[in-house]
Amino acid sequence: MGKISQLLHFVDRYRRTSLVRERHANESMVVCHTCRLHHTDNEQGVFEFCTRHKYHSLQIVPLFEVRAQEGWSLAIPQHANNMIAGYGGNASIKEAFGTATAFTKTNANIATSATAGWKSNAIDNTSNLYLDASVMAYLAAVNTPPANNKAIYLFAFSLIEGTTYTSTGDGTIDGSEGTVTYPDVGTLPVVAPILDVIYYPVQNKVLNSKASSVAARFDGVLPPKWCIGMVNYSGMTLSVTNIFYIEKYLTVA
């Protein structure tokens, strides 16, 4: 049984076996001693708090309601009050997003080729320190039959020092928008990680990629500087409507 399951099992057993005469509350207090936070909620809220504080030092305190002249009110045991002295109340941590921004695409309408590709302008994350960015490509319909690999390949490039980004394995990525040479995507591996593959199954159809995480390509960390690249080996010449990225961070609500 996992740590969270054990804690919730303890709450349930405590409520069923307690001999305390006061009415049992529908809420419990969960305390994170690692973060020095406490949170009072129903069992679902307690579970969510425990999930957010996984592997931390957690403690659950069952609560009771006591009868007063004005009605029932929530009671926190004295030992719990002493325990959380100096601890802060919990706040909800939520995802938040920046503004969707388009990459420069001056040279993005590349012809079908296994090696002749495109590279984007660089995105500098050294000031904003975003946690992730999602990239999504929008390609206009082209009335040319699919051929070659019937696919467009997107790659991700990172920089942590100096001026040279992750390699393609052939050409150099320098953070400026333009064209660049890749190893043959039909027969050879590319050094940079694949960000997405956009398949081209039917001609004359709009192609919109999925939103792909950049951080996921770099062990869950968005690099200080990053950019993307593309190889079109679909059989058509691309007509790029836009390639957007949107950055993600956490906010306290």
Q: Are residues 127 and 162 in the same domain?
A: yes
Whether the pLDDT of residue 16 is over 50: the answer is no
Whether the pLDDT of residue 19 is over 70: the answer is no
Please give the mean pLDDT across all residues of the chain. 86
Q: How confident is the model at residue 25 (pLDDT cuts 50, 70, 90)?
A: low
pLDDT at 68: 56
CA distances from 127 to 23, 175, 217 (A): 53, 17, 21
Q: How far apart are CA 47 and CA 45, in angstroms?
A: 5
Q: How far apart are CA 230 and CA 195, in angstroms?
A: 9
Q: How far apart are CA 12 and CA 141, in angstroms?
A: 58
Q: Report the domain count for the chain.
A: 2
Q: Are residues 102 and 197 in the same domain?
A: yes
Global model pTM greater than 0.85: no
Point out the domain boundary residue: 65, 90, 115: 90
Q: Are residues 127 and 219 in the same domain?
A: yes
Q: Are residues 172 and 241 in the same domain?
A: yes
Q: How confident is the model at residue 27 (pLDDT cuts 50, 70, 90)?
A: confident
Q: Are residues 78 and 105 in the same domain?
A: no
Q: Are residues 66 and 116 in the same domain?
A: no
Instruction: Supply the DSSP string of the chain, one letter for each residue.
Output: --HHHHHHHHHHHHHHH----SEEEEEEEEEETTTTEEEEE-HHHHHHHHHHTTTS-EEEEEEEEEEETTEEEEE--HHHHHHTTTPEEP--EEEEE---EEPP-TT--PPS-SSEEEEPPPEE-TTT--SEEEEEEEE----S---TTSEEEEEEEEESSSS-----SSS---SSSEEEE---TTTS--SSPEEEEEE--SSS--EEPPPEESGGGGTT---SEEEEEEEEESSS---EEEEEEEEEEEEE-
Q: Are residues 151 and 208 in the same domain?
A: yes
Q: Are residues 129 and 157 in the same domain?
A: yes
Q: How confident is the model at residue 215 (pLDDT cuts 50, 70, 90)?
A: very high
Backbone φ, ψ for residue 46 (5° rounding): -65, -45
Q: Are residues 164 and 138 in the same domain?
A: yes
Half-sphere exposure of residue 184: CA atoms within 13 angstroms, side-chain side: 4
What CATH code is carried by the domain that includes residue 190? 2.60.120
Point out the domain boundary residue: 55, 90, 125: 90
Q: Are residues 116 and 223 in the same domain?
A: yes
pLDDT tens for 160-194 read: 999 989 999 999 999 999 999 999 999 999 999 99
Whether the pLDDT of residue 2 is over 70: the answer is no
Q: How confident is the model at residue 131 (pLDDT cuts 50, 70, 90)?
A: very high
pLDDT tens for 35-89 read: 888 888 777 888 888 888 888 898 887 776 665 555 666 666 777 777 778 888 7
The candidate with the shortest Cα–Cα distance to 223, out of 195, 182, 242, 189, is 195
pLDDT at 42: 78
Q: Are residues 107 and 71 in the same domain?
A: no
Q: Are residues 132 and 15 in the same domain?
A: no
Point out the domain boundary residue: 90, 114, 137: 90
Q: How confident is the model at residue 15 (pLDDT cuts 50, 70, 90)?
A: very low
Whether the pLDDT of residue 253 is over 80: the answer is no
What range does the domain containing 29 cover?
3-90
